[in-house]
Amino acid sequence: MNAFGPAEIYRLLPHRSPALLLDRVIEVVPGERVTAIKAITVDAIWYEGVDGDDYAYPGTLLVESFGQAAAILLAEAWRPGSGITDDVPILGGLSGVHFDKPVLPGDVVWHHVHVDRVLGDNALISGRSTVDGDTVMRIDQVILALRPEQRIT
């Protein structure tokens, strides 16, 4: 699949602003890898009330952005062209998360996500995130699953 922007991301993921943490998908090879980007801007709501010079992008949001890229990769592998809006992406666990450098407003984060193994609607994912070619985060393993949405009536 070629690169795509917000309209395609909205179609594939149920996330919306401010929870949508991807700006563009550069490349998707279904079942193998995805490269996606997120531009970090100082006007994001998580910077409201920041005192001093502590503008490092929160690590939890960096992991979430990585996870959204992984969800797109899996959506294209498991549900080509339809996305995951009828299913719920579930994070089963993370291990080996390493933050190597802070991410700051003005940076463009590149998520490089790889599928290590797929078992039905479950997958083991790994990868890294970079800024200007320098690694800012590494994730040794993510366990992701897609499950049918269950509504309580």
At 147 the pLDDT is 76
pTM: 0.86
7 CA to centre of own chain: 16
The answer as to whether 101 is a domain residue is yes
Instruction: Give residue-wise pLDDT tens across range 12-44.
Output: 776 667 678 899 999 998 889 999 999 998 887
Look at residues 83, 85, 134 and name the one whose alpha carbon lies nearest to residue 112. 134
Does 2 have pLDDT greater than 60? yes
The answer as to whether 153 is a domain residue is no
Q: Could you tell me the CA-to-CA distances from 56 to 23, 99, 107 in Å, in that order?
A: 19, 12, 10
Structural element, H or E, at residue 10: helix 6-12
Least confident piece of the model among 43-47, 86-90, 107-111: 86-90
> Residue 144: which CATH number?
3.10.129.10
At 12 the pLDDT is 77
Rounded mean pLDDT of the chain?
84
Domain ranges, residue 93 = 6-148
- Over residues 4-16, the mean pLDDT reads 77
- Over residues 118-138, the mean pLDDT reads 93
Query: Given its phi and psi angles, is residue 106 left (phi above 0), alpha (psi -120 to 50 degrees) or beta?
Result: left
Token output for 108? 């463009």
Query: Given its phi and psi angles, is residue 69 left (phi above 0), alpha (psi -120 to 50 degrees) or beta?
Result: alpha
Identify the DSSP state of 30: T
Look at residues 22, 19, 27, 28 and name the one whose alpha carbon lies nearest to residue 9. 22
The total of structural domains in the chain comes to 1
The answer as to whether 76 is a domain residue is yes
The answer as to whether 136 is a domain residue is yes
Identify the DSSP state of 58: P
The answer as to whether 26 is a domain residue is yes
- Over residues 50-65, the mean pLDDT reads 86
The answer as to whether 44 is a domain residue is yes
The answer as to whether 1 is a domain residue is no
At 64 the pLDDT is 92
Structural element, H or E, at residue 27: strand 24-29
DSSP 84-138: TTTEEEEEEEEEEEEE-S---TT-EEEEEEEEEEEETTEEEEEEEEEETTEEEEE
